[in-house]
Amino acid sequence: MANTWWEVQILSEPDLEETIFWRLEDFGCRGTASENKGNYSQLKAYLPQSQAHLLDLAALSLWLRQDALCVGLSPPKVNWQLIDEQDWATSWKQYWQPEEIGDKFLINPAWLPVPEATERLVIELDPGMAFGTGNHATTQLCLEALEMRLDPAPISFFGEPERREPGIVADIGCGSGILSIGAILLGAKKAYAVDTDPIAVDATEKNFLLNKISLERLQVAEGSVDVLTKMLDEPVDGIVCNILAEIIIQLVPQMTAIAKANTWAIFSGILVDQSTAVGDTLEKNGWTVTTIWRRKEWCCLNARRRS
């Protein structure tokens, strides 16, 4: 593990914040955080020194400038410095506070006490170096979509009440494990989580234990859908996949192979202008996109496997 980290500091207009988060995630940054600075947003992100050279950081700065100019906003101010690992591990946590998401969830940093008298489902989280704190629009959209799919209260279609079945859920690209944990808290019988990043696998396992979820009910492994397929005894009832659009498109055939005839799925990490390509791929592989939820430039596709 690297002992020295790049701290990237970005001062931008608030409307550019989500695009910057996407760029930082794609660049390989971890532990991103933001705070208000008057009329601007101050963002910080971290990555090991070994993963980026000065020319890489200069290229990142150029991409951010181009992103801003494309939407008619002022280019952000970008600076970076080297810090040691201990400073990285603690510096971003001061900006992260408990956050309510959707109608049911409260994401609570593990190092802070749970707010008193909350009636929400509390996800205690310490993402470590893994992506996924709940403050990104794509994660929020997924949690809200999970509420719709797994809420045990009866729902009505065409006047007929129907109770949702909890079933088995697959979390592909699990990050910190936040979506798997959310699915279990909403009543899923079991969740399988995979991620190609060993750091994410480690963070997910720790967060399972932090939320008192047994490893029998929630299993995690390093890898992608091919590894997940070997873990399963039967097709899954639901899929959550919050990664990048181009990877979702590549994995759709494999995800289809682990789905039942009526499996539901939630796909996010998708920019609005990428949604058509993802939707077309799903349709060609036997899925129906039922709804598209949008938050700023990000969207979440809710889909159902056709019988």
- What pTM did the predictor assign? 0.76
Q: State yes or no: pLDDT of 225 exceeds 50.
A: yes
Query: Does an H or E element contain 285, and which?
Result: none
CA distances for 250 relative to 59, 225, 274, 303, angstroms: 26, 11, 14, 17
Per-residue pLDDT of 63-72, as tens digits, reads: 999 999 988 9
Three-class secondary structure of residue 135 per DSSP: coil
The predicted model gives 191-211 an average pLDDT of 91
Q: State yes or no: pLDDT of 179 exceeds 90.
A: yes
Per-residue pLDDT of 249-299, as tens digits, reads: 999 999 999 999 999 999 998 888 899 999 999 999 999 999 999 987 789
- Output the pLDDT for position 158: 41
How far apart, in whole angstroms, are the C-alpha atoms of residue 64 and residue 23? 8
Kindly list the structural domains of the chain, giving each domain's residue range(s) and its CATH number in brackets, ordered by start: 4-95 (3.30.70.260), 99-305 (3.40.50.150)
Burial call 91-120: b when 16+ CB within 10 Å, e when fewer: bbbeebebeebbebbbbbbbeeeeeeeeeb
- Output the pLDDT for position 161: 42
Contact 40, 13 (CB under 8 A): yes
How far apart, in whole angstroms, are the C-alpha atoms of residue 37 and residue 139? 24
Of residues 31 and 176, more confidently modeled: 176
The predicted model gives 50-78 an average pLDDT of 90
Average pLDDT, the chain: 87
Q: State yes or no: pLDDT of 173 exceeds 80.
A: yes
